[in-house]
Homo-oligomer: A and B are copies of this chain.
Amino acid sequence: MAEAIQRTDLAKWSAMQVREAIRSGRWRGTTHGGARGRLQANLVVLSKDHAFDFFRFCIYNPKPCPILDVTAIGNSEPKFAAPGADVRTDLSKYRIFKNGSFVKEVDDLLDVWRDDDHVGFLLGCSLSFEDALESNGIPLPHLRDLSRTNCVYQTNIPCVPAGLFKGRLVVSMRAIPNDKVERAVEITGRYPLAHGAPVHIGDPHEIGIDDMNDTISGKFQSLDRGETAVFWACGVTPQSVAMSAGIPEMFTHKAGHMFVSDLALDGRK
């Protein structure tokens, strides 16, 4: 019987090893900490009918939607970000949406992928820069204490629209010690493919967040004295925008169950 995989194994593995463990069904958990030093990605799969405008939306809004790769129409291999990989099988959990509503979770997209139609977008995610923050001495309590989570919020900051795709920016908030905010800005600014520098620091009202308890996901647990709320553009934005556009069909990863790419944090191979 195959030995059970531990999360600590995942960190030591290459991106390809993590993807293979997922593809073979040996790992179904989140990819947090997997293939350390490699960019992880949000997945959005759309029909070619909507893919062109969504592509435009991503380049117009690079902070929430940093493009790591876009597959050819009908081809499930992200040849740039991970040659040999397959976006239908290499994520540990997927979500299916129809007409803007969540329908169900599935373990792969083999039954629903259309070879003449579907396009996979891999968009950078902030899991990638959290490692860099921690290794530069900036504590992220939710990485150690699973009872703490990142909080994700809707803002009033408009995205640049493209066709059907329009809406407001979604952000993730991290509580950063006051004396480390500047350093956090500097470090994350180095990783534009993982959302880059914050979009806002401090007063949440200024970006339309009137109640810090009113999250899209995550439970707000008060800021400690000596901590500042720092807000980064979030990869939930494109999903949120695609849902409110009422796209007939969209497949995505499940939160935390990301695509692990071969790309280094600076986007190089």
Contacts and interface: CB of A to CB of B under 8 A. Distances in A.
A53 interface: yes
Contact of A70 (B51, B59, B70, B119): B59
Given A51-B52, A52-B55, 6 more contacts: A48-B52, A52-B73, A52-B119, A55-B70, A56-B70, A80-B160
B67 A59 contact: yes
A60 interface: yes
- In the complex, the count of this chain's copies comes to 2
A73 B164 CA distance: 13
Contacts of A53: 72
A163 interface: yes
A121 to B, nearest CB: 11
Interface of A: 48, 51-53, 55-56, 59-60, 67, 70, 72-73, 80, 119, 160, 162-163
A125 B142 CA distance: 44
A80 B67 CA distance: 18
A214 to B, nearest CB: 31
A72 B67 CA distance: 18
A119 B162 CA distance: 14
Contacts of A59: 59, 67, 70
Given A80-B160, A160-B80, A72 B51 contact: no
A170 to B, nearest CB: 21
A249 B104 CA distance: 43
A164 to B, nearest CB: 10
Contacts of A60: 80
Contact of A55 (B55, B160, B162, B163): B55
A72 B51 CA distance: 11
A59 B48 CA distance: 18
Nearest to A68: B59
